[in-house]
Amino acid sequence: MSAQPTPPSAPKIKSASWIGLMGIVALSAMDLSSYCHPTEEGQRAATAVKAAGMLPEVRLNNATPPTDSNAPSEAEEAYTEMTWRMLEDVEFKDVYVEELDAYYWKPTFGGIVNGLEGKEVHITGYMIPVDLDEDFYVLSRYPFANCFFCGGAGPESVIDLRFDGKSPRVYQTDERLTFAGKFRLNADDVYQMNYILDGAVEYTP
């Protein structure tokens, strides 16, 4: 998951949209009354911003390979409904990451979440365009004003959408949509989300 103390040097930012998002997160996490002594929540948010700033490049290096032309079509696949309540079955522990010089929340997934890994699922949420230049979108349990990136929710409330190739269109912030795909867990790579939906496609239940 994400975490804490502000690291010494920030990663290179690739787009104005990402800079804007980081600014919003930083402002929402700021506690002016303790400017010289940041709150624990503020430190966690700052670390989350630094790690998230590296996400677009990591996403490109870990892109899902194109699907086989002989694979079943979307219409032939049966998707299991996955709810945000199911994704709450996770506990987080502060773990120090030397590379970031910060702590992050390392997830320990419960039985419900582990049972969903590798399954073809669908889930409904709000679209958050993190970086349009990098075609980086997440699906959030909450609208942008209350989502994880603004410090209003935990990392279990967002899913990284991995399309096969480029996204089919430009999605708008807070569009409420259902996506289907193969659910994948990430507990160790601090530069990626804890929940990932590979081969994401819009879906009508």
pLDDT exceeds 50 at position 147: yes
Q: Is residue 6 part of a domain?
A: no
Residue type present at position 19: I
Q: What are phi and psi of 47, to 5 degrees?
A: -65, -40
Least confident of 39-43, 61-65, 126-130, 145-149: 39-43
Question: Which range has the worst mean pLDDT, 66-75, 134-143, 144-153?
Answer: 66-75
Band of the pLDDT at 70, cuts 50, 70, 90? low
Find all residues with CB under 8 Å of 191, minimum gap 6, and list them. 51, 54, 55, 58
Answer whether residue 50 is part of any domain.
yes
Residue 10 located in a structural domain: no
1 lies in a domain? no
Query: Which residue in the block uniquely carries the two structure tokens 């702590």?
Result: 103
Which domain, by its residues, includes 186? 16-202
Say yes or no to pLDDT of 26 above 50: no
The answer to which of 26-30, 48-52, 149-153, 182-186 has the lowest mean pLDDT is 26-30
pLDDT at position 39 over 60: no
User: What integer pLDDT is reported at residue 57 of this predicted model?
Assistant: 55
Structure-token pair, residue 54 = 């590296």
Q: What is the pLDDT of residue 145?
A: 93
The residue among 50 and 27 whose pLDDT is bigger is 50
Amino acid symbol at 34: S
- Residue 9 in domain: no
- Whether residue 171 lies inside any domain: the answer is yes
Whether 150 is covered by a domain: the verdict is yes
Instruction: Give the number of domains in the chain.
Output: 1
60 located within any domain: yes
